[in-house]
Amino acid sequence: MKAMLGMTAAVGLLLAAAPAMALEVREQATIKAPIEQVWKQIAPFCAISDWHPAVEGCTLRKTGDRQERDIALKGGGALQERLTGLSAAKHRLRYTLLTGPLPVKNYKSTIRLSAVDAHTTRITWSSRFQASGASDADARKTIAGIYTRGFDGLRKRLESGQ
C-alpha cells in the first residue's frame, strides 16, 4: 500500500511539472486573387500594416541576421515579432511572437498560400502556443479573430483593387 501511495504521488508530481499542452489554431480563407499577387502582400514582413485592419503601423529592424518587426496596434498596444522562415517557393512565412498584449506565450505561427486556380488563392494561417492570462478557449478565440480580420483585410485590399 505504501509503495502504491508513493507511486501515485510521484505520478502526480510528474504531471504537475509537465509543460502545458500546446494549443493550436488554424484558419483558412480564399482570396479572389492569383497566388503571386497575394504573396506580394504577405512576404514583406512589415507589409502587414498595409492589409491587417488592427495594425496602425510597422517598423522593421534587424537583430543580428534576423528580421524583427514592431507592430503598433490601432487603439494602442504593440507587438514584437521575429521572422523565423520565409520560402517564396512554398509561399510560406513563419514567425514567432516576442512580446505583446496577447493572452499567449511560446507563440509560433505560419502563413501558407496555395493556388486554388489561376485566379484564387487559399490562405492558411496557423499557430501553436500556450494560453497565458486567459483560458484556453479565450486564447484560441483571440488568435482566430486576429486571423479572420486579417483575411478580411486582404480581401478588401486585393479583391477591390486597392
Give the tens place of pLDDT for each residue, 17-30: 445 689 999 999 99
pTM, two decimals, is 0.85
Per-residue buried b or exposed e for 91-102, using 16+ beta carbons within 10 Å of the residue's own CB: bbbebbbeebeb
> Per residue in 58-107, pLDDT tens?
999 998 889 999 999 999 999 999 999 999 999 999 999 999 999 999 99
pLDDT for the residue numbered 1: 52
pLDDT for 11: 43
49: left (phi over 0), alpha (psi -120 to 50) or beta: alpha
Per-residue pLDDT tens over the stretch 8-19: 444 444 444 445
Rounded-to-integer distance, Cα 85 and Cα 155, Å: 24
